[in-house]
């Protein structure tokens, strides 16, 4: 029996990819089958589950209407900004909290509390504070991810092996030398993982961020389609978000493998 069926067995990348794509193909085939026929005579009404062909037509319509690919770039740009500020604030704060126990003690409870609050609850406050322009979308994304970015960075720093830290201490390194020479490089792979998680988080939040007050973006596109009951366009938007999020995820992981694989 192939190792892939044994608990904790190993699987070659080729087989792994094939199985993944095969499963997707299977789902597509089932999907096509259960949505066969003209819109009025289907097993499932097209408003609940459009056929793949309908979704492709929907994409065409959106492109013709000028909504695509522009919406994609707008949403991507918002997420890039969100990530930028999240990293700018969360990583240094996480490093300091991870390095100095007194900071961890003082701030941890605020972060634990904050991470449980959904940014949706902040929407009213965000509009009040930041208006309805681009800024408020980025703030929304920022709030969704910052607590996780900080806490995960802090954990990454605290998880650096004691052995490594002790070597530096034993050699007489200063606090700064320990942080910059051991803690930061040691934690870098996990900090990058935290960035990958936050990227994923932001893609789940982008629709919300754009639902309430946007004039553009994938979330806005989906919200309009939803109000018009254009299920094909809604699905198109959802699938696009899933694909782009997976693509950015894959790109970030590739960077990790190339530069931080210790």
The window from 12-20, 69-77, 158-166, 212-220 that contacts another protein (CB under 8 A) reads 158-166
What's CA 226's distance to the chain center, in Å? Answer: 23
**Of the candidate residues 60, 159, 166, 204, the single one contacting another protein (CB under 8 A):** 166
Contact 251, 76 (CB under 8 A): no
Does 186 bind another protein (CB under 8 A)? Our answer is yes
Residues touching another protein, count (CB under 8 A):
18
- Between 105 and 144, how does the x/- string for binding to another protein read (CB under 8 A)? ----------------------------------------
Numbers of helices and strands, H then E, in the chain: 11, 0
The window from 40-48, 70-78, 117-125, 160-168 that contacts another protein (CB under 8 A) reads 160-168
CA-CA-CA-CA dihedral for 81, 82, 87, 90, to nearest 10:
150
99/97 Cα distance (integer angstroms): 5
CB of 251 to another protein, least distance (A): 22
Contact 144, 201 (CB under 8 A): yes
Q: Angle 10-200-210 (CA atoms, 0-180°, nearest 5)?
A: 155
Does 101 bind another protein (CB under 8 A)? Our answer is no
Residues in the site for another protein, rule: CB under 8 A? Answer: 163-164, 166-173, 177, 181-182, 185-186, 188, 260, 262
């Amino acid at each position: 029996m192939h190792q892939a069926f044994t608990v904790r067995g190993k699987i070659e990348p080729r087989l792994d990819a094939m199985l993944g794509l095969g499963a997707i193909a299977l789902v597509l085939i089932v999907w096509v089958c259960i949505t066969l026929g003209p819109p009025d005579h289907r097993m499932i009404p097209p408003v609940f589950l459009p056929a793949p062909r309908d979704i492709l037509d929907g994409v065409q319509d959106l492109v013709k209407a000028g909504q695509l690919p522009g919406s994609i770039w707008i949403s991507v740009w918002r997420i890039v900004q969100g990530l930028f500020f999240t990293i700018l604030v969360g990583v240094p704060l996480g490093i300091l909290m991870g390095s100095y126990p007194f900071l961890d003690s003082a701030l941890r409870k605020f972060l634990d509390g904050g991470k449980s609050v959904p940014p949706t609850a902040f929407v009213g406050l965000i509009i009040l504070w930041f208006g309805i322009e681009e800024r408020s979308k980025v703030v929304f994304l920022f709030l969704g991810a910052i607590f996780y970015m900080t806490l995960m960075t802090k954990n990454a720093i605290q998880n650096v092996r004691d052995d490594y830290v002790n070597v530096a201490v034993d050699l007489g390194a200063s606090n700064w030398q320990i942080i910059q020479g051991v803690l930061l490089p040691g934690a870098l792979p996990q900090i990058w993982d935290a960035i990958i998680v936050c990227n994923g988080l932001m893609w789940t939040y982008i629709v919300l961020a754009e639902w309430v007050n946007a004039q553009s973006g994938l979330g806005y596109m989906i919200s309009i389609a939803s109000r018009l009951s254009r299920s094909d366009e809604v699905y198109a938007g959802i699938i696009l978000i899933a694909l782009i999020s997976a693509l950015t995820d894959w790109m970030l992981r590739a960077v990790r493998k190339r530069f931080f694989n210790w």
